[in-house]
Chains A and B, each alone.
Chain A
Amino acid sequence: MNLTTTVLGKTYQLKSLKEVLAKANEEKSGDQLAGITAEDAKERMAAKLILSDLTLGDIRNHPLLPPDIDEVSRVIEDAVNDKIYNEIRGWSVAELREYLLRQETGNNEIRRISRGLTSEMVAAVTKLMSNLDLVQAAAKIEVQSHCNITIGQRGVLSGRAQPNHPTDNIQGMKASLFEALSYGIGDAVIGINPVIDSADSVKNILLATKEVMEKWSIPTQNCVLAHIKTQMKAIRQGAPADMVFQSLAGTEDGNKAFGIDVALLDEADELIRREGTGTGPNLWYFETGQGSELSAEAHHGIDQVTLEARCYGLARKYKPFIVNTVVGFIGPEYLYDSKQVIRAGLEDHFMGKIQQIPMGVDVCYTNHMKADQNDMDNLAVLLAAAGVNYIIGAPMADDCMLNYQSTSYHDIATLRETMRLRPAPEFEGWLNRMGIMENGRLTPLAGDPTVFM
């Protein structure tokens, strides 16, 4: 494995694959915080050049976090198809990039080689790709999933209705939900973040959303984004959950900080299959985001792009219905400004899609980050072009409970009209029956939440 190169007359000798991967990243405040970033633009380029010549075999043979000490590594390693891997192990990372971007390489070809890739290889190629590369390669990949309805078809842009309320007030949640539905939003999931993480609270919210779904025969699925243990308790008490939710990290220690491990996820997986109300086969909702491992001091010196790729490697084991990176939620210490958030959003979406994850993105920012709503407009358009499965719908993009800004009901409707995208077919059929949509456009009735009263 050659870790030496010369850039503009200066020779760089890096010490390990871990260092090459970290220094090859585009600039991120999180890597700076971890103290693993390139010193300057030249060293960054040196790392990218070294990385471009490494082979996929080099990457697999030099594990960043050995499987015997980390269960996320084990999950990723166990999923590799060795026959396919052996066909491509001699490829350089540069060749992998060029293969993905070739005109002859389509969805089926990418789906096949993805079974021979590890998450680290996916992260490696991402570091050599420009923003437009990430858009184009991701746009080739179609990942459909089915809980109660199918989403992820080419030409479909779904939305999560996120009708959160600062005191878990059921009427207030319903009000925001009615507004969402009246704009044609809610085909990905009706997903609520509770303030109070208790089984009773989860159960009440699941019952309320299920009641709305049944009353209006809405073809979608519900979920409450409490801790997995709380959801399990609620489900065992008879709460109607179509899916279960959990935040994931890319290391075993990171997941420990979230209060989970693979054994617990396996247990929840079995429970939702036996006692969930969703049709399946896809019954999970995961969220991820660059920086969570560092935040939990569980990053093992690995950069945040690589760790994020590993989250998707772990998610894949559970065949999720939806996964989204909450890209700008964690804060400026990991992604400092809009440039970094936009880059991370495109990276995460691509890294998820290539690992066959039905990938959505929470296009978002907090008020202590150097970004504003115009930046979210930009990223949302880029992701719509990249074929993102869904984005988040919050009333006027303002989540009044989580205190951050995402994308709005208006934004999803606008992206659909501007980018010629549609809601999921079954959901669109329902919108037509309700008189909210006609030929893929909102009708004059759209935007009146009292339609559902």
Chain B
Amino acid sequence: MIPSIELDQFVDRVMAELEKKLGSPDVSVTTESANSNAVTHSATDSGVVTIKVPQPRWEEGLAELIESTPARIGVWRTGTRPLTKEMLKFRCDHAAAIDSIYGEVNEKLLEQFGLFTVDTCYENTENYLRRPDMGRIITERGMDLIRESCKAKPQVQIVVSDGLSANAIDANLPDVYPSLLDSLTAYGLKVGTPFFVKGGRVAVMDHIGELLQPDVFVLLIGERPGLVSSKSMSAYLCYQPRKGTVESDRTVISNIHPGGTPPVEAGAYIGTLVHKMLEQKTSGIHLDL
């Protein structure tokens, strides 16, 4: 793992701000999704299940339920409304999720895996949010760089992109990437030249696919941040993506983060899917799993 120190500092700052705003030093506001140790259960502050239901039929049973999901359950109520702390915790997590959209991927991480960077035509984050079409096109300069640097017609092309959460790449790439390479090697598959796309949308794989003509394309991209995790990554896979490829031709593995599909397992599973796509010469809903 690459420790993302900056993020930790950032989280601490947010937490300090929140405590200040709530105006009470004994209010412990723990936003699990902002915690850099990744996802913990929403009702488990510091790993201990606190029971909020006053007289549950079965107390141990309730702890078991709460442990089984990151969903906000066993939260109890006042009348029909949520308890105050629970409601504020939700709002804190929302604040953290909004912040993660505006983050950037750690340069050192990209260097470590030898990924050079190209931009899409997104220009800036506001524009990226409003104009997904621009996130599907690589700039001319970027296309030149890809043409110069990448092996054409590879069996497998891997591309990484920040998408809607740079944090997702920082948190998961160090585990997913090596295990994906191992898995592809184990199947005897040949990988082209990987790179990083800044400001990418899923269909950017079609634009790149036209140029490099890979058999299978693997795009590792940050998902829209959620409240439980703002660091969830998706892998989009497609057999021969080209201009005009439809969404149902893509296979997706979503929720890649330590509280969802574990990154190391995800890497291995992506390798298996790539192998099946090459065997069946198809992907998406046509792929027989």
Identify the A interface with B (CB < 8 A). 29, 32-33, 163-167, 169, 171-176, 178-179, 183, 195, 198, 227, 229-230, 256-259, 295-296, 331-333, 336, 366-368, 372-373, 394-405, 408, 410, 413-414, 417, 442, 446-451, 453
How far apart are the CA atoms of A368 and B70 in the complex, in Å?
21
Q: What distance in Å separates the Cβ of A180 from its nearest Cβ neighbour in chain B?
A: 9
Contact with A along B244-264 (1 / 0, CB 8 A): 001110000011000111000
Question: Measured between C-beta atoms, what is the minimum distance from B21 to chain A in Å?
Answer: 16
Interface of B is mostly: loop
In the assembled complex, which residues on chain B have CB atoms less than 8 Å from the CB atom of A400?
42, 69-72, 226-228
Complex alpha-carbon distance, A195 and B223, angstroms: 14
Q: Is there an interface contact between A367 and B56, defined as CB atoms closer than 8 Å? A: no
Chain B positions within 8 Å of A401 at CB level:
255, 260
Whether B72 and A398, one on each chain, are in contact in the complex, defined by CB atoms closer than 8 angstroms, is yes
The CA-CA distance from A163 to B232 in the complex, in Å, is 19
Chosen A-B contacts, 5 in total, with CB atoms closer than 8 Å, are: A166-B260, A176-B71, A366-B224, A367-B94, A367-B227
- Of A333, A367, A397, A410, most buried by chain B (CB within 10 Å of CB) is A367
| Among candidates B65, B132, B224, residue contacting A453 with C-beta atoms closer than 8 Å | B65
CB distance from B146 to the nearest CB of A (A): 23
- B145 at interface, CB cutoff 8 A: no
Chain B: residues with Cβ within 8 Å of the partner, total of: 59
Whether, in the assembled complex, B113 has its beta carbon less than 8 Å from a beta carbon of chain A, the answer is no
Given A296-B247, A368-B225, A398-B42, 6 new contacts (CB under 8 A): A178-B65, A256-B248, A367-B230, A394-B71, A448-B62, A450-B57
CB within 8 Å for A331 and B224 given contacts A166-B70, A450-B61 = yes
Cβ 8 A contact of A404, one of B59, B70, B226: B226
Which of B65, B91, B98, B260 gathers most chain A CB within 10 Å? Answer: B65
A367 touches B80 (CB 8 A): no
CB atoms of B74 and A405 under 8 A apart:
no
**Cβ–Cβ contact A395 & B75, under 8 A:** yes
Q: Is B53 engaged at the interface, CB distance under 8 Å to the other chain?
A: yes
CB–CB B285/A229 < 8 A: yes
A172 CA to B66 CA, complexed, in Å? 8
Bound complex: CA A18 to CA B76 (Å): 51
Taking the complex as formed, is B90 at the interface, i.e. its CB lies under 8 A from any CB of chain A? yes
Which one, A176, A229, A295, A333, contacts B69 given CB within 8 A?
Answer: A176
Task: Say how far A172's CB is from chain B's closest CB, in angstroms.
Answer: 4
Given A33-B133, A368-B164, A368-B224, does the pair A417, B80 have CB atoms closer than 8 Å?
A: yes
Decide: A175 and B65 in contact? CB cutoff 8 A.
Answer: yes
Alpha-carbon distance A229/B288, docked complex (angstroms)? 11
> Whole-angstrom distance between the alpha carbons of A413 and B93 in the complex?
23
Contact A368 B73 (CB under 8 A): no
Q: Chain B residues near A397 (CB, 8 Å)?
A: 90
List chain B residues, Cβ under 8 A from A198: 289
**Among A367, A395, A402, A450, contact of B72 (Cβ-Cβ < 8 Å):** A395
The residue of chain A having its C-beta at the shortest distance from the C-beta of B135 within the complex is: A333
Contacting residues, chain A, for B164 (C-beta < 8 A)? 368
Contact between chains at A403 and B57 (CB < 8 Å): no
Name which residue of chain A comes closest to B69, CB basis. Answer: A172
Do A395 and B130 touch (CB < 8 A)? no
Chain B residue nearest to A366 in the complex (CB): B224
